[in-house]
Amino acid sequence: MTDRQKEMIDYYLPNDPDPTLEDGEYFFLQYTAGNPRVIRVLALDIFPCRDGIEYGIYQRQGGQMKRIDAGWGDPMRGVRMGDLYDNKQDCRDQTHGAMHEWEALRKLQREEAKAWN
């Protein structure tokens, strides 16, 4: 791992991932009429957009999946990967909103930890 990659991990991924998340499951900061709240979502849809890829997100509610409106008011729009997090604290703090490649950094972090063990 380079020094730059380590700096990016320290800055964008300050907290450890939540081990209870399933594959394709993330935390998302949902803005409502009250205070914003962190919810668990599944990224199930993929929307190729002009500026990159967006993901349609869903929340489990009573055995069903409810589509979460990302604020666009358009069912063919979603959220960018930078809006999804692998732990609640980073999500609350919005540590990597502009870093859409954060999963690659997390993978590098895991590989480095394995190499030291």
pLDDT given at position 117: 65
Position 95 in a domain: yes
Q: Is residue 101 part of a domain?
A: yes
Rounded distance, CA 103 to CA 107, Å? 6
Number of domains the chain contains:
1
pLDDT for 79 equals 92
User: What is the model's pTM?
Assistant: 0.89
Task: Flag whether 117 is in a domain.
Answer: no
Taking the C-alpha atoms of residue 7 and residue 4, their distance in angstroms, rounded to an integer, is 5
Mean pLDDT per 10-residue interval, the chain, length 117 residues: 91 95 94 88 90 91 89 80 96 91 93 80
Query: Distance (Å, rounded) from C-alpha 16 to C-alpha 24?
Result: 17
Q: Which structural domain range is residue 23 located in?
A: 3-112
